[in-house]
Structure 1
Amino acid sequence: MHHVAFYDLDRTVTRLPTWFAFLVSSAPRWRVAFLPAMAGMWLAYTLGLIRRDRLKELMHRLMLGGAVRGDRMAALAERFADRTFNRNIRPGAPLRIAGDRAEGYRVVLATAAHRFYAEALARRLGITDVVATDASVNAAGAILHRLAGPNLYGPAKLAAVEAWLRAGGIERGAARLRFYTDHVSDAPCLNFVDEPFAVNPHRRLRALASACGWPVLDWRPAAAAQGL
């Protein structure tokens, strides 16, 4: 029997979202002038005028350009991962990760965040396996603003989790699976696993967790100190 624990990243392991923070902290200073345009893109998304995956591509293109050298992106990702690990991790997340490992669970970060910084952050959390959104790469190894496949949000994340299991030769019937998330968009994954957990959930996920009888965890500082 395989034991696997999947962790969402933004607002689950971290206190705050990471994509906007990565773009703003990594962009050349002169591109800060484009922040109002970023707000306009987000408004277009909330009005249903552009898809979420296209929003991610447009924000990337605006703040970082159409292509970033692979070594440059790696350096930006490492710097961002250091800052995120030091300032933006929920105290309860490392404790729970350690607890899952002690129980024999293989820990996987499953996130819609871009792989180029999600993997860097995962290393700081001691996590080897990452399911994440992939960016396109050109022949010279530069990271492009276009996605290479779907943005792993909602059902797309579940499809990627299932693909990861198949690639590892892990049959669903021979696995005990956990999933931790703060957001109702991960309902497909929560319904797929044996042990779903709502972590510091927003209103809609809290209501769903109550209806389904899923445990609700609090990983804020005071709760983490009590082992919740």
Structure 2
Amino acid sequence: MDAPTTPTTRPVAHRVALYDMDRTITRAGTYSGFLIHVARRRQPWRLLLLPLVGLAGLAYALRLIDRAWLKAINLRLLVGKRFRRAEIAPLAESYADRVVARGLHPAALDQIAADRAAGYRLLLATASFHLYVDAIARRLGMDDVLATRLDEPDGGDHIHARLSGDNCYGEAKFARITGWLADNAITREDAHIRAYSDHVSDHPMLRFADEAVATTPSRKLRRLAPRMGWQVVDWRGRK
């Protein structure tokens, strides 16, 4: 079954399509790939620190650190404690080219195009870093982006390997979405909202939507979706 493409019949002032990114639009996660992409091209010696990345992952699995700490630690190990935006920006662009060339679900691109044609405002909401997500979003033609921010105490010239605010994940992502709606003067009753995600952590966003689509869902989301009346689609393998 394809994702919804027919417009709502309820008269509304706004149409919004909310998209998760990793494993929803992309075939795989992008965060680790970005860190390795940067390390290989900028400071290859940092690849020797990959065993420490593995230890950080183990600490997360044992619940000794949370996702935000895990992401900050890995960024520090493979990119650095502090780095210049001008140095990383070209690598973010080349990584975005790589993801868009080989790492997207064609069916996701079809749905993005269909939503755009139907007059939906496209919002990409992801826990990945603005540092490279913005470059991917431009290539996808997204209208707006909500992503995890990094600390930029020097006015943007330098970026520090620590998060600024919450990791844009789960309830924190949903809070960012509701804040974005308010900032854009979009009230819930005046909007028709579609939402697409592969992961159960996005259940607040999916529950909020008029049309929720579990896209190539994780095991937990696949079990939850029928109980919630959410559509399930598999975007793998479609050309």
Interval containing the TM-score (normalised by the shorter chain): over 0.9
Residues 1:6 and 2:22 are matched in the alignment: no
Q: 2:120 aligns with which of 105, 123, 126?
A: 105
Partner of 2:7: none
- Structure 1: give runs of 5+ residues left out of the alignment: none
1 CA distance for matches of 2:57 and 2:47? 16
Q: 1:194 aligns with which of 193, 207, 210?
A: 210
Partner of 1:39: 54
Root mean square deviation, CA, Å: 1.0
Asked whether the equivalents of residues 110 and 130 of structure 1 are also in contact (C-alpha less than 8 Å), the reply is yes
1:51-200 pair list within 5 angstroms: 51-139=66-154, 141-200=157-216
2 CA distance for matches of 1:70 and 1:19? 17
Residues 1:18 and 2:30 are matched in the alignment: yes
1 CA distance for matches of 2:143 and 2:163? 22
Asked whether the equivalents of residues 137 and 143 of structure 1 are also in contact (C-alpha less than 8 Å), the reply is yes
Compute the displacement of 1:72 (Å).
1.2
Compute the displacement of 1:138 (Å).
2.7
Partner-residue secondary structure (3-state), 2:162: strand
Asked whether the equivalents of residues 152 and 160 of structure 2 are also in contact (C-alpha less than 8 Å), the reply is yes
2 CA distance for matches of 1:186 and 1:209? 11
2 CA distance for matches of 1:173 and 1:72? 44
The total of aligned residue pairs comes to 223
2 CA distance for matches of 1:46 and 1:162? 30
2 CA distance for matches of 1:90 and 1:72? 30
| 1:124-182 residue CA offsets vs partner (Å, 9 max, x unmatched) | 11113101111111315111111110001110000000111111111111111111000
Asked whether the equivalents of residues 10 and 18 of structure 1 are also in contact (C-alpha less than 8 Å), the reply is yes
TM-score by length of 2: 0.91
Asked whether the equivalents of residues 154 and 186 of structure 1 are also in contact (C-alpha less than 8 Å), the reply is yes
2:227 counterpart letter in structure 1: A
Compute the displacement of 1:217 (Å).
1.3
Partner-residue secondary structure (3-state), 1:11: coil
Asked whether the equivalents of residues 179 and 197 of structure 1 are also in contact (C-alpha less than 8 Å), the reply is yes
TM-score by length of 1: 0.95
Residue identity over aligned pairs, in percent, reads 47
Asked whether the equivalents of residues 128 and 147 of structure 2 are also in contact (C-alpha less than 8 Å), the reply is yes
Residues 1:206 and 2:222 are matched in the alignment: yes
1:159 counterpart letter in structure 2: A
2 CA distance for matches of 1:213 and 1:192? 13
1:167 counterpart letter in structure 2: D
Partner-residue secondary structure (3-state), 2:33: helix
Which structure 1 residue ranges, 4+ long, deviate > 3 Å from structure 2? none
2:224 counterpart letter in structure 1: L
Compute the displacement of 1:20 (Å).
0.4
Asked whether the equivalents of residues 121 and 143 of structure 2 are also in contact (C-alpha less than 8 Å), the reply is no
2 CA distance for matches of 1:67 and 1:138? 11
Asked whether the equivalents of residues 73 and 143 of structure 1 are also in contact (C-alpha less than 8 Å), the reply is no
Asked whether the equivalents of residues 112 and 132 of structure 1 are also in contact (C-alpha less than 8 Å), the reply is yes
